[in-house]
Amino acid sequence: MSEYNPFAIAQAQLDEAAERLGLDQATHEFLRWPMREYHFTLPLRMDSGTTKIFKGYRVQYNNARGPTKGGLRWHPDETIDTVRALAAWMTWKTSVVDIPLGGGKGGITCNPKELSEGEKERLARAYIRAVGRELGVHRDVPAPDVYTTPQIMAWMMDEYETMVGHSHPGMITGKPICIGGSQGRGDATARGGVYCVRETAKHLDMDIAKATYAIQGFGNAGQFAATLHSEILGGGTLVAASDSRGGVMNKNGLDQAALVRHKLETGSVANFPGSKPISNEDLLELEVDVLYPAALEGSITSKNADNIKAKIVCELANGPTTPEADKVLFEKGIYILPDFLANAGGVTVSYFEQVQNTYNYYWSLEDVHSQLDRKMTDAFNAVLEMSKKAKAHNRLVAYMVAVSRVAEACKMRGWV
């Protein structure tokens, strides 16, 4: 077992919330484990004519509040414990934003950068053939995640509809708009996080329009955060950004739109004109008003937490902060917007997509943004109110809000 086990962290976070909530032992134990999980062996015919074997997973963590919902990750380091942890976090995420869904997650251990488009399509369809009977708008609804795309969702939907013999667009979200995707899905994760930063600034009485910010991880969420931060908040200076190939900084500010174009054209933020290099590690420790960790898990740990200087940390990535680091940041007075609140905009708009698919009526972009703003603001305020009673770090407080709702649903169903 690796030193960093995301599922062990997810369980530890739940344990702390369960203790503070006074959950009975049966309910606590029930919520510590997935209700169902599936493992698949997927043979894939490669373009070369050889056959390669891939491992796939789907975890349906808890469906007490509604059908399970969660992304599909294609990553060379994907493990069942990562998928379990993300399915647990998705359970708390859908609960904290109060949408009628449970939590799920899936993945394939592969490196999509080494696959052709034809191989990706065959792998996507193979996954749905393996898991399709367990999916559906009233059962379990996948979505895009790390290295999966609207095109991959389209292939998966087509394979599922071939299996069931009728149109069923709501069985998967994050689709291209032309076949049932929702307006506003592309930037929803970052947009929801920025809405939370806005509400935090109000709470802290901070002039957010003059704030500096840095982004660790410049994928989809990081790129949108770069531009939406200043667009929604009326200003702000992006002083640093990084990705897996390097980082750049300029204390006088980076042109957000130009940096996004540079990333899309070159594949990295590295060597952006008018900047100097900075490592991912050093970026996290910059003295900025807002830090957006938007990379993979385990970026802020007990080793570097004491060096974090941001006033607000908005977690667009899943699991970027370890439990030990949470306590350090809380003691330093840093305001954490925990992942399953801060990045819940994605699943919220995925839910909106599912709703639109189900009753076959589609919303305008303005409607999506308005409804997302309302949901994220309400969720922030629910966590803020709980924090006034609990006197604990924000992740624990958000867990208390989310876990209490799931526990109540389990009890009302008579499960525990």
> pLDDT, tens digit, for every residue of 214-248?
999 999 899 999 999 999 999 999 999 999 899 99
Instruction: List the domain boundaries for the chain.
Output: 33-179, 188-342
> pLDDT, tens digit, for every residue of 36-76?
999 999 999 999 999 999 999 999 999 999 999 999 999 99
Listed residue (171, 151, 36) closest to 104, CA to CA: 36
Q: What's the pLDDT at 391? A: 83
Q: What's the pLDDT at 3? A: 62
pLDDT (tens place) for every residue of the chain, 416 residues total: 346 788 998 999 899 999 999 999 999 999 999 999 999 999 999 999 999 999 999 999 999 999 999 999 999 999 999 999 999 999 999 999 999 999 999 999 999 999 999 999 999 999 999 999 999 999 999 999 889 999 999 999 999 999 999 999 999 999 999 999 999 998 999 999 999 999 999 999 999 999 999 999 999 899 999 999 999 999 999 999 999 899 999 999 999 999 999 999 999 999 999 999 999 999 999 999 999 999 877 789 999 999 999 999 999 998 899 888 999 999 999 999 999 899 999 999 999 999 999 999 999 999 999 999 999 999 999 999 999 998 888 999 999 999 999 999 999 999 99
* Catalytic positions: 105
Q: Which residues are within 8 A (CB) of 140 and not within 5 positions of it... i.e. 6 or more apart?
A: 58, 60, 63, 67, 68, 69, 104, 134
SS (H, E, C) the chain: CCCCCHHHHHHHHHHHHHHHHCCCHHHHHHHCCCCEEEEEEEEEECCCCCEEEEEEEEEEEECCCCCEEEEEEEECCCCHHHHHHHHHHHHHHHHHCCCCCEEEEEEEECCHHHCCHHHHHHHHHHHHHHHHHHCECCCEEEEECCCCCHHHHHHHHHHHHHHHCCCCHHHCCCCCHHHCCCCCCCCHHHHHHHHHHHHHHHHHCCCHHHCEEEEECCCHHHHHHHHHHHHHHCCCEEEEEEECCEEEECCCCCCHHHHHHHHHHHCCCCCCCCCEECCHHHHHCCCCCEEEECCCCCCECCCCHHHCCCCEEECCCCCCECHHHHHHHHHCCCEEECHHHHCCHHHHHHHHHHHHHHHCCCCCHHHHHHHHHHHHHHHHHHHHHHHHHHCCCHHHHHHHHHHHHHHHHHHHHCCC
The CATH superfamily label for domain 188-342 reads NAD(P)-binding Rossmann-like Domain (3.40.50.720)
Evaluate whether 189 touches 223 at the Cβ level (below 8 Å): no
* β-strands 140-144, 68-75 pairing: parallel
Q: Which residues are within 8 A (CB) of 100 and not within 5 positions of it... i.e. 6 or more apart?
A: 65, 66
Q: What's the pLDDT at 319? A: 82
Q: Which residue has the tokens 């054209």?
A: 265
Amino acid at 15: D
Identical topology for domains 33-179 and 188-342: yes
Q: Residue 302, CB half-sphere, CA atoms under 13 Å: how many?
A: 4
pTM of the model: 0.92
Q: What's the pLDDT at 1? A: 37
CATH number for region 33-179? 3.40.50.10860
Structure tokens at 338: 């925990």
Evaluate whether 172 touches 141 at the Cβ level (below 8 Å): yes
